[in-house]
Amino acid sequence: MSEPTAVDKDVVVSLAYKLTVDGEILDEAGAEDALQYLHGNQNIIPGLEKELAGLKVGDSKTVSVGPEEGYGLTDSEEIEEISLEDFPEGIVPEIGMELEVKDEDGNDLFGRILAITDDSVTMDFNHPLAGKTLNFEVSVVGLRAATPEELAHGHVHGPDGHHH
Could you give the domains of the chain? 11-71+131-153 (3.10.50.40), 76-124 (2.40.10.330)
- Count of CB atoms within 10 A of residue 121's CB? 24
Global confidence as pTM: 0.79
Residue 164's pLDDT is 44
Rounded Cα distance, 118 and 128, in Å: 25
Counting beta carbons within 10 angstroms of the beta carbon of residue 38, is it exposed (0 to 12), middle (13 to 18) or buried (19 or more)?
Answer: buried
Residue 23's pLDDT is 96
Residue type, 45: I
Residue 160's pLDDT is 54
Contact 145, 4 (CB under 8 A): yes
Residue 163's pLDDT is 47
Residue 59's pLDDT is 98
Note down pLDDT in tens along the chain; length 164 residues.
Answer: 678 999 999 999 999 999 999 999 999 999 999 999 999 999 999 999 999 999 999 999 999 999 999 999 999 999 999 888 888 888 899 999 999 887 778 888 889 999 999 999 999 999 989 999 999 999 999 999 999 999 999 999 876 554 44
Own/partner contacts of 115-119, CB < 8 Å, gap of 24 or more, are: 119/83, 119/84
- Count of CB atoms within 10 A of residue 17's CB? 21
10: left (phi over 0), alpha (psi -120 to 50) or beta: left
